[in-house]
Amino acid sequence: MKNIAFALICLIGIAEGYSQQVNTADSLMIRKIYDTSLLNGKSYDWLDHLSNEIGGRLSGSLEAELAVKYTESELKKLGLDKVWLQPVMVPKWTRGVKEYAYIETAPGITSTTDICALGGSVPTPAGGLKAYVVEVQNFEELAELGRENIEGKIVFYNRPMQANLINTFQAYGGCVSQRYAGAMEAAKYGAVGVVVRSMNLRKDDLPHTGAMSYGDTPPNLRIPACAISTNGADYLSNALKLMPNLKFYFRQTCKTFPDVQSYNVIGEITGSTYPDRYMIVGGHLDSWDLGDGSHDDGAGCVQSMEVLRLFKEVGYRPKHSIRVVLFMNEENGLRGGRKYAEEARLKNEKHVFALESDAGGFTPRGFSFDTDEANFAQIESWKSLFEPYLIHSFLRGGSGADIGPLKDGTVVLAGLRPDSQRYFDHHHAENDTFDAVNKRELEIGGATMASLVYLMDKYGTKTELGEIKN
């Protein structure tokens, strides 16, 4: 019974803190935020333009620069206190002409299959690359096979996403090493190329691109890497069981250019009470090039813009300075996120809260937080305010890639967590398009973010209030 008594005392403590903080004014303000977002939202129109008028926004591309100009100009229409561009040098990698691949089961007997170059890959030789294939599930198998079984061959990484994980990001986390490090690992054993099963829980014909790295592999030892669709991977795997001596051919003309100038796009409402304390909300403006980047991360960008617009619309004047930051180059470099944090430190800008939306524009379920227990307890005390909107999941865990560089032990970091079931059907593939985003789901996400920023602004973080000494 002792433990129960202790738990009850804790509950009383929580209940008291809660009653201090959550009141009818908050409920009404949050209702107003959701109503405005759903009845008079702007995010869907912005996304329509980004997706359908501009399209995929790979770092260094014309589309990325058009997106910078468009979002800057839209932010300027909102009557914010400041809107500016923060220069950042970004990598420039281009896909070249559409990739081509086939499986050759006997000389002259081929079937084409759907691939795309992984982001950052070197090209194949101009005439393409054809070799025997060795299929593996992971790097351990690669090591067991050793150079004698791998040299001169194409390594085919075929570890599928684990379908019984409810959180599909966890399933992604269990596979993504094949894509990111597959080429550099295979090159160690003399492989000539790499084919990676797409990170997709669905069976379809769409290859999914994404970042890869050669680490410190010398340039002359770098091998081309491509993704194959899940249907293509299953076909190739089955074919290999019947005909281990089949060959795989692929051709890609991708290329890396010197870094180019780009920008983070930033807008600010200056705080009424703490103008020198910053809370930021953001997404990344760059995307992969296959689709139009509607879910990843056009949605996060327009939701973040909407947070500031909603504050204006509902007449909420924040105490802290609230910034929207549209980061450049999350996908293949994270240069924008690093630059923002670097400059904040140089200027001694005190950041107290950062929220990122980079998990798709689907129905929001909650947030994950990278913070300490005291801050998390305060946030949890607000849970009931979100219940009418079916926002229920408040967890400690990751936040967002772009805001990660701000981490310093005092800033509270958070990520919006939408329903994840459909996300990897579209992620980094040509079907990450506007029609896959539902207007209401997008708008509820923006309102959910605005409501959290409102509460953080009104009550301050626990760290900021000096209730915890770091």
Catalytic site residues? 330
Per-residue contact string for residues 13-52; x = within reach of a copy of itself by CB under 8 A: --x------------------xx--xx-------------
* Binds a copy of itself by CB under 8 A, chosen from 23, 52, 273, 393: 393
Omega before 297 within 30 of 0, i.e. cis: yes
Residue 169, Cβ neighbours under 10 Å: how many? 19
* CB of residue 39 to a copy of itself, shortest distance in Å: 5
Give the total of residues touching a copy of itself (CB under 8 A).
31
Q: Which span sits near a copy of itself by CB under 8 A: 280-288, 333-341, 349-357, 438-446?
A: 438-446
Show contacts with a copy of itself in window 294-323 (CB under 8 A): none
* CB of residue 388 to a copy of itself, shortest distance in Å: 7
425 binds a copy of itself (CB under 8 A): yes
The CA–CA distances, whole Å, from 51 to 112, 332, 418, 434 equal 30, 19, 20, 6
Nearer to a copy of itself, 167 or 272 (CB): 167
Separation CA 120–CA 142 (nearest Å): 22
Q: Looking at 113-254, which runs of residues are DSSP E strands?
A: 115-117, 129-136, 154-157, 193-197, 225-228, 247-251
Show contacts with a copy of itself in window 240-279 (CB under 8 A): none
* CB of residue 422 to a copy of itself, shortest distance in Å: 5
Torsion angles phi and psi, residue 318, rounded to 5: -70, 150
What is the per-residue DSSP string for 36-48? HHHHH--HHHHHH
* CB of residue 17 to a copy of itself, shortest distance in Å: 14
* Binds a copy of itself by CB under 8 A, chosen from 10, 11, 62, 143: 11
Show contacts with a copy of itself in window 328-387 (CB under 8 A): 363, 365
**Spatial contact of 341 and 334, defined as CB atoms under 8 Å apart:** no
Tokens describing residue 429: 């593939």
**Among candidates 183, 237, 179, which has minimal Cα distance to 208?**
179
Residue 53, Cβ neighbours under 10 Å: how many? 12
Show contacts with a copy of itself in window 156-195 (CB under 8 A): 163-164, 166, 168
> Interface with a copy of itself by CB under 8 A: which residues?
4, 8, 11-12, 15, 34-35, 38-39, 163-164, 166, 168, 201-202, 363, 365, 388-390, 392-393, 419, 421-422, 425, 438-441, 444
